[in-house]
């Protein structure tokens, strides 16, 4: 017989009354970052597995993960990362990498009209340790693509700094962070990334 109280079933199958505390609902930011982290599990990179999700008006527009171009052999299939084999440092010599970055793959799979004003969520996981990447940041090439896509905000889950939010307009104002003043001269700034 129904006495007017609300009953809920948890995954355990145990019935709980509405007076009992249920787990808190996660934020939309964590929701989309969790999806990006799951997308990263499709990555074919032997160094770092990144996932990206483009969202606009609370709708997922596209997802992407880092890996070799379609129809070509992936690093996990080859069993070698050329940059790793050559001792290339993180954030350098991308032309040696076989992969397309997660951000680029997501952008490729969406129309600019859909991305205009949207948010890009990015998560990186170290392939060897399965831990979040420390110092995660979009590389210069991805920043350029993001600026041209019309995306206005980027949210990154970082292993040390937590959740970081960037406004693309700030990247444009700061010339994509590519230059810095040293000794009175503008010189290229080396950034971290993949």
In degrees and rounded to multiples of 5, residue 188 shows phi and psi of -60, 140
Angle at 190 between CA 186 and CA 193, to 5 degrees: 145
Q: Among positive and negative, which fits the CA dihedral 54, 172, 142, 135?
A: negative
Closest-CA residue to 97 (of 76, 85, 83) = 83
Selected catalytic residue, list 103, 137, 178, 180: 103
How many CB atoms are located within 10 Å of the residue 175 CB? 11
Cα(34)–Cα(76) distance, integer angstroms: 23
Is 95 catalytic? The answer is no
How many CB atoms are located within 10 Å of the residue 126 CB? 14
Query: Looking at the annotation, which residues are catalytic?
Result: 103
């Amino acid at each position: 017989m129904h006495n007017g109280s609300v009953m809920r079933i948890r995954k355990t199958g145990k019935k709980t009354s509405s007076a009992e505390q249920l787990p808190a609902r996660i934020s939309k930011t964590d929701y989309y970052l969790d999806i990006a982290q799951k997308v990263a599990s499709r990555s074919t990179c032997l160094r770092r597995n990144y996932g990206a999700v483009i969202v606009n008006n609370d709708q997922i527009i596209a997802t992407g993960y880092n890996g070799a171009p379609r129809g070509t052999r992936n690093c996990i299939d080859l069993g070698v990362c050329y940059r790793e084999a050559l001792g290339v440092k993180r954030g350098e010599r991308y032309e040696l990498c076989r992969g397309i970055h997660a951000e680029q793959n997501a952008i490729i799979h969406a129309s600019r009209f859909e991305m205009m004003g949207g948010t890009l969520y990015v998560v990186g996981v170290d392939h060897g340790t399965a831990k979040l990447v420390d110092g995660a940041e979009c590389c210069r090439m991805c920043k350029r693509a993001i600026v041209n896509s019309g995306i206005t905000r980027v949210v990154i889950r970082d292993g040390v700094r937590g959740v970081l939010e960037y406004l693309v307009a700030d990247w444009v104002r700061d010339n994509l962070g590519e230059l810095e003043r040293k000794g009175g001269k503008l010189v290229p700034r080396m950034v971290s990334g993949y």
